[in-house]
Structure 1
Amino acid sequence: MPPRPRQHHHHHVYVVELSDRVWNLASFRRANPDHDICKPCVYVGMTGLDPDLRFDRHKAGVQANRLVRDYGLRLLPELYAVYNPMPYEAAREMEVELAIGLREAGYAVWQA
């Protein structure tokens, strides 16, 4: 049997800074009772695309999360770039872990 080709990991976690206006949504406030007002509101996601392309798709309304489409400002690669790329299952787990870690650090986090 020939050697199995090495799989290239192409999944990413990403963090989008959201406008402070997202705080006006009751569901967002309820999800973030311990928000440190000195830290931004963010969305944490995972994708098989490059995070820049995924952000552009959110903003264009293509398979978009409503909060990113309506309130997304920019990517925050300083919060996620160190983890990428990774296998699909690792990205699924890291999305949750990253969201939890950021919320514990005082960020207001939305994660779908």
Structure 2
Amino acid sequence: MKRRTLRKFSSGQTTDHHSVYVVLLDKVVGKLRKVRLANPARDPKKPCVYVGMTGLTPEERFANHQAGIKSSSFVKRFGLRLLPELYAHLNPMPFAAAAQMEKDLTEDLRRAGYTVVGGH
């Protein structure tokens, strides 16, 4: 009997399919105590945003948030739209890079005065 070997099957997809994304939130989020404490240097004139990471497209992930599928309560309740001008130039990337970029983007936006939630 011939010994079988496992072959690596290519799905045709690149491993760089993860993305970071930014969602514009309603300005009422900036008035929540928990959010203000997490963003002490926030500029009230700049928008409130949610930063996330996904293996889907940002548009698919935003639709899932709105539908309540593995959703952030902030995005489900207060999400208005995606802000591709803040993230489109960064995507796509491998999982590890996306996980780090989510944190880095969160810190960068906070430093710039945005009120940021998410961005584990």
Please, what TM-score do these two structures have when normalized by structure 2? 0.86
For residues 1-112 of structure 1, the aligned pairs below 5 Å read 8=14, 9-111=16-118, 112=120
Which consecutive segments of 4 or more residues in structure 1 shift more than 3 A? none
Rg larger in 1 or in 2?
A: 2
Deviations 1:48-95 (A, max 9, x none): 000001001001100000000000000000000001000000000000
Aligned mates of 1:37, 1:21 — CA distance in 2: 11
Matched positions, count:
110
Unpaired stretches in structure 1, ≥5 consecutive residues: none
SS of 1:99's equivalent in the other structure is helix
Tell me the C-alpha RMSD between the 2 structures: 1.7
Distance 1:91 1:45 in 2: 9
State the distance in 2 between where 1:45 and 1:59 align.
Answer: 14
2 CA distance for matches of 1:7 and 1:50? 14
Gaps of 5+ in 2: 1-9
